[in-house]
């Protein structure tokens, strides 16, 4: 813990940042002048074999970025949350926030450089099953490199494709959404995924829902993301499958026996469904 404390940020950098009001955390999502963000995330996750995704969607036409993520182990959550709060100027994060994930990531986009951030995700008692509080604060590239050496909870790299769509609420109103399609390159220490056997090649699709009222129309198929009709919902799937293929777990464990068994079950489900 001492090494982590010594290698994070100079206190002066935290003091120079402008504040988010403490009330913003957990109750009134917002963004500070420093770029720190607090939001409630409602996310649905889907699975698709990579070979089938290409039949229903030309990802080459979509906006793409490259993501590198490193996770912290649970023992570092309290310290990371303190530093994150100091950097954003909010002080301590809510006491009733049960942190489930702390990570750093760099997102590189074609032609627009890269940006790095520290992210914390967790739940408070009033959040429902699909909701998580997401706290994100920008960090400098040098801070990312130093923290990367201390993030012992696993790592991964992936290519992300953004597929825009709309959900029809009624005959007049529509909500814009973006499906984030992730194709994993590396998981764990050295496990390379791209180019593996067909049963190892897969994509996950995350769809963030800005309002719970959109879940009904989405479930009824009132949306323009046609490829989702051929995807398997991980959100509604067996908890063992969800956990085996969670980004945090495969970053730590790679494609171990548990993950491979989950992939096999999902591929068999596709065959049963006639895909």
pLDDT tens for 85-138 read 887 777 778 889 999 999 999 999 877 789 999 999 999 999 998 899 999 999
d(C-alpha 138, C-alpha 115), whole Å: 8
pLDDT value at residue 138 = 94
pLDDT above 70 covers a percentage of the chain that reads 82
Has residue 23 got a pLDDT over 50?
A: no
Phi/psi for 194 (5° steps) reads -60, 130
* Among 45, 74, 19, 27, CA closest to 234: 45
Q: Top-level CATH class of 2-273?
A: mainly beta
* Among 150, 138, 132, 82, CA closest to 106: 138
Mean pLDDT lowest among 53-57, 190-194, 205-209, 260-264: 190-194
pLDDT value at residue 31 = 61
d(C-alpha 53, C-alpha 161), whole Å: 12
For the segment 144-158, what is each residue's pLDDT rounded down to a tens digit?
A: 999 999 999 999 999
Has residue 14 got a pLDDT over 50?
A: no
């Amino acid at each position: 813990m001492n090494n982590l404390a010594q290698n994070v940020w100079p206190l002066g950098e935290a003091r120079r940042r402008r504040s988010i009001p403490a009330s913003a955390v957990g109750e009134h999502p917002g963004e500070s002048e420093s770029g720190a963000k607090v939001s409630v995330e409602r996310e649905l996750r889907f699975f698709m074999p990579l070979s089938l995704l290409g039949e229903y969607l030309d990802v080459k036409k979509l906006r793409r970025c490259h993501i590198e993520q490193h996770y912290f182990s649970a023992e570092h959550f309290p310290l990371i949350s303190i530093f994150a709060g100091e950097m954003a100027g909010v002080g301590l994060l809510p006491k009733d926030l049960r942190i489930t994930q702390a990570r750093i990531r760099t997102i590189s986009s074609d032609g627009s450089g890269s940006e790095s951030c520290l992210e914390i995700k967790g739940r408070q008692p009033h959040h429902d099953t699909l909701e998580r509080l997401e706290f994100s604060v920008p960090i400098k590239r040098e801070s990312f490199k130093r923290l990367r050496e201390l993030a012992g909870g696993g790592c991964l790299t992936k290519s992300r494709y953004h597929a825009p769509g709309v959900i029809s609420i009624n005959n007049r109103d529509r909500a814009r959404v973006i499906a984030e399609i992730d194709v994993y390159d590396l998981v764990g220490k050295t496990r390379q995924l791209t180019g593996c056997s067909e049963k190892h090649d897969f994509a996950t699709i995350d769809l963030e829902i800005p309002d719970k009222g959109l879940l009904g129309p989405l479930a009824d198929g009132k949306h323009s993301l046609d490829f989702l009709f051929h995807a398997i919902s991980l959100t509604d799937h067996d908890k063992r499958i969800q956990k085996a293929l969670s980004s945090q777990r495969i970053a730590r464990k790679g494609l171990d026996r548990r993950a491979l068994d989950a992939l096999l079950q999902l591929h068999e489900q596709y065959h049963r469904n006639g895909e």
